[in-house]
Amino acid sequence: MPDVEAEMVANVWKVLVSPGQAVSAGETLVILESMKMEIPVESPVDGTVSAVNVEEGGVVQEGDIIATID
Amino acid sequence: MSSTNDVALELAGGGAAEGTVVVADHQTAGRGRLGRGWWSQPGGSLIASWVLRPALPPDRWPFLTLVAGVALCDALLVVSGVKATLKWPNDVLIGEAKCAGILAEARPPGAVVIGLGVNVSGHVPADAAEGATSIVGAGAEAPRRSDLLAEVLRAFGAFMPNPASVLPRYRELSATLGTRVRAQRAGGGSLTGSATDVDEGGALLIDAGGEIVRVTAGEIIHLRTYD
């Protein structure tokens, strides 16, 4: 059950998935933004999104768990 | 071409090497930050994106957008004699009007694409963006776009062995430091204060009534004395 962590402090620009959704490895889950760089966060595995812990317009700190994939 | 960033991201995904450059005369689907459009005129803009494979941890990647801003300002000075400044983090201004934008996008696991759009010559439509200008519109002679691009890439490359070495030059070019600013805060609300410095992470430090707040994302508005 991989947790997907934020690698940096950033704004949450887009949330592209919701709980229950099937995703493939490499699929973009969330797009972060910091200092005018857009950073897609991808699913590490094929699976189902079991939790999304961020909202568009919110902030993540390094190490925050963005989503969990079952 | 749809967008040089889109093409460069696709190339990066296919394994393109660091230094791969994509150039277009104009774009049919140019993108600014956060999905905004970026207008360009055939023959009148420099539109280019390049691929990096930074030997830096991902939390340092956004700093590269500041390096790109400095490289573009310095290139404008060398090629056109234009004294441009930077609105944090990397809007390139001539006077108070924006003449260029930079959009960086990460391509996990290891690539970054930096794209820029420079209004070189010609007419900037009134509805393109509030406060937009071009190099020619600011009274300078139009450079050859290839000369400008070559100088941007040279200047950018010169900082890459040690990206943090750009900070002193960044501070010199900043139009934001020393001014009163309003920062939109993620999660709502805003913060008003004096922009005091840019730190080694590229964040803007704002003195808000004695409390120093570190801002890494979101929009900054320069306030005039009457605001």
Banded model confidence at residue B227, pLDDT cuts 50, 70, 90: very low
* Domain at B180-222: CATH architecture: Roll (2.30)
- Write down the domain spans for chain B: 4-169, 180-222
Q: Which residue of A has its CA nearest to B113?
A: A37
A13-66 confidence digits (pLDDT tens): 999 999 999 999 999 999 999 988 999 999 999 999 999 999 998 989 889 999
Q: Which residue of A has its CA nearest to B91?
A: A36
Query: Measured between alpha carbons, how far is residue B209 from residues A33, B187, B218 in Å?
Result: 27, 21, 20
- Inter-chain residue contact A37 with B90, CB threshold 8 Å: no
- Write down the domain spans for chain A: 3-69
B123-173 confidence digits (pLDDT tens): 666 555 568 889 998 888 889 999 999 999 999 999 999 999 999 999 999
- Inter-chain residue contact A39 with B66, CB threshold 8 Å: no
**DSSP structure class, residue B33:** G
Token pair for residue B173? 């070019």
Write the DSSP assignment of A1-70 as a string of letters. -PEEEPSS-EEEEEE---TT-EE-TT-EEEEEEETTEEEEEE-SSSEEEEEE---TT-EE-TT-EEEEE-
Q: Determine contact, residues B35/B51, Cβ cutoff 8 Å.
A: no
Q: Determine contact, residues B113/B49, Cβ cutoff 8 Å.
A: yes
Provide CB contacts within 8 A for B199, sequence distance 6+.
B205, B214
In this complex, the residue of A12, A40, A62 whose CB is nearest that of residue B106 is A40
* B197 strand-pairing partners: B205
* Domain at B4-169: CATH architecture: 2-Layer Sandwich (3.30)
Q: What is the largest CA-CA distance in chain B?
A: 52
Task: State the CATH class of domain A3-69.
Answer: mainly beta
